[in-house]
Structure 1
Amino acid sequence: MELFVWLKGWLVPALHWLEAHPGSANWFEAIGSIAAIVFVGLFALSQARRARSHDDLDRIRRAQGLALILVPVLREFKPKIEAAIIQESKLEPPDEVLHLLDQLYVLGVAGGFVLQMVAILQAHQRALAPPNDENSDARSSYNSMARQRLGDALRYCSDAIDALLKLTRARTV
């Protein structure tokens, strides 16, 4: 009740003053309109930030789910790359990875490592070995390049595993 008395005691003189000065009402109306426009703009900005925050959280959760799928696949594939380096053989990328290539963009840097590994392995698949009857320098050069490619694929695989594990440990609240 005291609030109404206080408000009435403050509001009535203010309204009388505004009636006595007709130009001031226009100024207060203009200031109120500007304040309303600023308020609506700030409200829209906060809603956009909230929506962006939800989108970022969804993207991180999708990336974590994809990382949880890829980590075991890459851990299982890493010894195969090591064996291919020793045996100097060709190696196909895992089917599980090939089926997810269009979704790797969500992973950021980790997805880039996986793409690099796949690209190197596919380039290694396309490389033609020289026939055995030619000179040994061509064969030695081919084997050296093959080891280099497979070594790079192994490094990208290890980097991808590390980055994916780091991604799975990221907290989403």
Structure 2
Amino acid sequence: MTKSGRERRAKPEMSRRTAARLAAVQAIYEMEMAERSADAVLRDFAADRWAADGTDADAEGAGAARQVDPDAAFLGDLVRGTTARLADIDGMVAPALSADWPLDRLEAVLRAILRVGAYELFARADVPLRVIISEYVDIAHAFFDVKEAGLVNAVLDRVGRVLRPDEAGGGGDDPTTGNR
């Protein structure tokens, strides 16, 4: 019996920063859906989702062991930073979308992925552009099919070319003007 491609390519254990990115997307989604503050959501994440006993209440099976704790400082920066700069972030993301699919028409999880990814591109120069894009494409794959992951890749690439033209290897095109 042969193994499928997925079985052959075992993914390495999730890093603490990867876990923080995923948690940040979940937090931004929850904030939008429940109209809660960043501090309230982060407090709940710390108290309920990553309790001191080392289990994840949301994992399959009660008391299943967590794979990795998110980097709390990084998570806090992503959630608070995205929230604080939401208008700026939306102003970067919206022009990178097609006119047929404005930001408010996107599914809420997809919107959260794009917002947190764009914030990280904007505020975290210590993380390489390609790492950021790859991480959020992987997160998109966890929730969606190939089409949405491709959208995340394209939008974050466009935003990255504006914010980090030297790193992107592009000309720093400004999606707000339509210049490519």
Q: Same fold (TM over 0.5)?
A: no
Q: Which has the larger radius of gyration?
A: 1
TM-score by length of 1: 0.27
TM-score by length of 2: 0.27
Which structure exhibits the higher relative contact order, with contacts defined as CA atoms closer than 8 Å and separated by 6 or more residues?
A: 1
